[in-house]
A and B are shown apart, each in its own frame.
Chain A
Amino acid sequence: MSQLKEKLYSLAEAAKLVKDGSTICLVGRTARANHPMAFVYELVRQRVKDLTIIAVNNGLSIDLLCGAGCVKRVETSCVGLEEFGLASNFRRAVERGEIEVAEYPEDLVMPRFYATAHGLPFYPVRALFGTDILKYNEDIKEGISPIDEKPYSALPPAKPDWVVVHAPIGDTKGNVLFFIGAGYSPIWELEATRCTRNNIVTVERIVPHDQISRYIPTQFSRSYLPTIPEFRTRVIVEAPFGSHPSSLTGVTEADNEFLGMYAKAGRARLKGDPEPWKNFLGKYVYGCGTHTDYLKLVGAEVLAKLRDVGGDLI
C-alpha cells in the first residue's frame, strides 16, 4: 500500500479514494475525447455508488457510470455520443427518474471553477436570462449587481472531492504535462485542477522526476506545456491507453469501432433488451481484473492503430 507522501498509486488504490456519495469532476471533452476511462472503469469495478459528477461536456464517461449504477447526480452541459447517437444509459437513468441532472451550459462550467479557485462565493453571469435553466437549476440564484444595478445569475462554485484527469506524461513527483494539439489546449484540465489539491492524474507514462525536464519546452516550438505542478497532484497513476476508447489529444485517436459497439449495447438496453449491455460490462469491466487485462482484451493490433502519429510521446 502506498504511503501518503508517496504519490504513485495503482488504479485500484486510487479509485478507493473515491468513497460512495463523493463529488468528482471528470474532465474530458465532447463524447469521446480525453476522458480518464481507465479510472472510470475501475470505479465501476469497485462498484462505487451515489456519485455526483461535475463535468464540462461529456458522453462516454458519464454514460458508462450511469449504465453501471454508480451515479446519483450529474452537473454538466451535455451527455451525448455525437454520431453514435444519444447516450442511452444516461438517457434511461434520467427518464426513469434514477438520477438528478443540474443543467449548466458548456461555457458556464469553468466559471464555477474560477469561483472556487479565487475563493469567491459565486460567479456572476448574464447568459441565462429567458432560459429554463434558471427555472429548473435551483443552485443558480438571481441577484442585482451593486455596480451597474442590473440583474445577474449567480453560479455556485464547483467543490469536487476529487478532480480526475488523464494526461500524456507525468513524473514520480506528480508534475504533469499535456500535449497541445491542433485546436486543443488543456485549459479545462488546468482550471479544474487549480481549484483543489485533491487531483488524481492518470498518465500514459510516468518518468523519473529527473527526466521530466526533457519534456518541458525550452522554446516555443516544443509542443508540451507543463500543466499540473507536483504540489497540486495528490495521486499519479500510470495507465497507458488510459483514455480508451476515447482519444487523448495528440497521443491516441478514438476507437470508433469500439464506441459503435458500446453505443449499440446501451441502445439495446434502452429498448428493453438488457443482455448486450450486461455482456459489455461483464466482458470489458467486471471481467477484467486490471487495466492490463482490459488492454489485452482490446488487443495490441487495435491499440497500435490508435496511436496518433502526431504524438511523439517519448
Chain B
Amino acid sequence: MSELEPTKWEIMAAIISREIKDGEVMFLGMSTGGVTMLLHTYVPGVGLALARRTHAPDCAIIYTDSPDMERILGDNLKVILDANYYLGEIDIGLSSCAQVDKYGNQNIVCIGDYHKPRVRLIGPVLQPTHLAYFKREIIAIDHEARNFVDKVDFISGVGYQDLGPKSREKLGLPGTGPCMIMTDLCVFDFPRETRTATLKWIYPGVTVDEVRKNTGFVHDYIPKRVPEAPLPTQEEIRLIREELDPRGLLLPR
C-alpha cells in the first residue's frame, strides 16, 4: 500500500489535535465564511475530533454556530453548551483577526485610525475574554502580508505587549496568552524568553522565503533553522479521510 500524503489542512488539524490534552475544552467562536471558516472552524473541529479518536477521548468543544460541521462530525465531537470562561473552564480558544502583531495582539475592530478608520471591521465580539481568560489561544489566520503588522491598529485581543516573560501577570490577565499563530503556510509560536512571534514550523513544500515574502512583521522572527511541521501519522490521515470527513466536506483534498 502506498503512503498517504497529507494535505496542509490535515497537517494543521493534526497539529491542533496534538495541542489538545485529554479532558480539555476548546472554544470556537463564530466565523465569517470562506478561508477563515476553514482555518478557524473546520480545521480545529477536525483536529478535536481526531484528538478524541486518538489520545484525548474526553476532550470537548463549545462553539457558537457551525451546524454543518456538527452534522458531519456527529459523535466524533463532544459538544458542551456552557462553560465559565472566567474560572478557566476553557483550555484552548481559537481566534481569527484582520491584523496580528509581534506580541500576539489581535485586531478585529478597524484598520487605520479608530476615529476615522479606512475599514471598519465587525467589532471585538468575544476576543477580549478569549485572551484574558482562556488558558491558551490559537490564532488562526490566512497568510497575507497585510495581516502581520508591527503594531495592530486596535488591540481587541491582548497578547504579551513588550512586557517580556511575566507580561500576563503584569497585565493582570489569568490566561497564558496566545500559544501559536497557525496560517496556511506555517506556524509561529511565542517563546517564553522573548514572548514575540517566532517562526516555528513550515509545512512541506513551503520555503522560508515564501513566508518572508508574505509576512509583514519587521522584527527578526526567523530563527537560523526552521524545521518542517510534524506530519500526521498514516493512521491519523486514514481517520480523517475515512471516518471523520469521508466526503471531504470540511477539509478540501
Binding site for B on A (CB under 8 A): 30, 57, 76-80, 82-87, 90-91, 94-95, 97, 101, 103-108, 126-133, 136, 150-151, 183
Q: Do B125 and A129 have beta carbons less than 8 Å apart?
A: no
Q: Do A131 and B129 have beta carbons less than 8 Å apart?
A: no
Known: A94-B117, A97-B115. A128 touches B128 (CB 8 A): yes
**Residue numbers in A under 8 Å from B129 (CB-CB):** 105-108, 127
Max chain B Cβ within 10 angstroms of own Cβ: one of A30, A76, A87, A132: A132
Interface CB pairs A-B, < 8 A, 8: A57-B125, A77-B124, A79-B123, A82-B31, A82-B32, A131-B157, A131-B158, A136-B154
**Residue numbers in B under 8 Å from A91 (CB-CB):** 119-120
Within B1-41, the residues touching A (CB, 8 Å) are 30-34, 37
18 new A-B contacts, CB < 8 A, other than A78-B123, A183-B81, are: A77-B123, A78-B125, A80-B121, A82-B31, A83-B33, A91-B119, A95-B120, A103-B109, A105-B128, A108-B129, A126-B132, A126-B172, A127-B132, A129-B171, A129-B173, A131-B155, A131-B158, A132-B154
The size of the chain B interface, using a CB distance under 8 A, is: 41
**Residue numbers in A under 8 Å from B161 (CB-CB):** 130
Q: Do A97 and B116 have beta carbons less than 8 Å apart?
A: yes
In Å, the complex CA distance between A105 and B133 comes to 13
Q: Do A78 and B171 have beta carbons less than 8 Å apart?
A: no
User: Does B76 lie at the interface of the complex (its beta carbon under 8 Å from any beta carbon of A)?
Assistant: no
In Å, the complex CA distance between A128 and B173 comes to 9
Total contacts A-B at CB 8 Å: 109
Shortest A256–chain B CB gap in Å is 12
**Residue numbers in B under 8 Å from A57 (CB-CB):** 125
**Residue numbers in B under 8 Å from A130 (CB-CB):** 155, 158, 161, 171, 173
User: Does B222 lie at the interface of the complex (its beta carbon under 8 Å from any beta carbon of A)?
Assistant: no
**Residue numbers in A under 8 Å from B206 (CB-CB):** none
In Å, the complex CA distance between A76 and B86 comes to 20
Binding site for A on B (CB under 8 A): 30-34, 37, 64-65, 79, 81, 85-86, 109-110, 114-129, 132-133, 154-158, 161, 171-173
**Residue numbers in A under 8 Å from B34 (CB-CB):** 83
Shortest B21–chain A CB gap in Å is 25
List the B residue with the shortest CB-CB distance to A81: B32
**Residue numbers in B under 8 Å from A79 (CB-CB):** 122-123
Known: A78-B122, A80-B32, A105-B126. A129 touches B156 (CB 8 A): no
Q: Do A94 and B124 have beta carbons less than 8 Å apart?
A: no
In Å, the complex CA distance between A150 and B124 comes to 25
Shortest B215–chain A CB gap in Å is 23
Point out the residue from A82, A83, A84, A131 that lies within 8 Å of B124, measured CB to CB. A131
Q: Do A131 and B85 have beta carbons less than 8 Å apart?
A: no
List the B residue with the shortest CB-CB distance to A107: B129
Known: A126-B132, A127-B133, A128-B128. A95 touches B173 (CB 8 A): no
Q: Do B37 and A106 have beta carbons less than 8 Å apart?
A: no
Shortest B97–chain A CB gap in Å is 13
In Å, the complex CA distance between A9 and B158 comes to 47
Q: Do A105 and B125 have beta carbons less than 8 Å apart?
A: yes
**Residue numbers in A under 8 Å from B125 (CB-CB):** 57, 77-78, 105-106
Q: Do A133 and B117 have beta carbons less than 8 Å apart?
A: no
List the B residue with the shortest CB-CB distance to A83: B33
In Å, the complex CA distance between A105 and B131 comes to 12
Shortest B231–chain A CB gap in Å is 31
Q: Do B122 and A86 have beta carbons less than 8 Å apart?
A: yes
Known: A78-B122, A132-B154. A107 touches B85 (CB 8 A): yes
**Residue numbers in B under 8 Å from A133 (CB-CB):** 124, 128, 156
Max chain B Cβ within 10 angstroms of own Cβ: one of A103, A104, A105: A105
Q: Do B109 and A77 have beta carbons less than 8 Å apart?
A: no
In Å, the complex CA distance between A103 and B109 comes to 9
List the B residue with the shortest CB-CB distance to A104: B124
In Å, the complex CA distance between A129 and B79 comes to 30
Q: Do A132 and B156 have beta carbons less than 8 Å apart?
A: yes
In Å, the complex CA distance between A97 and B112 comes to 13
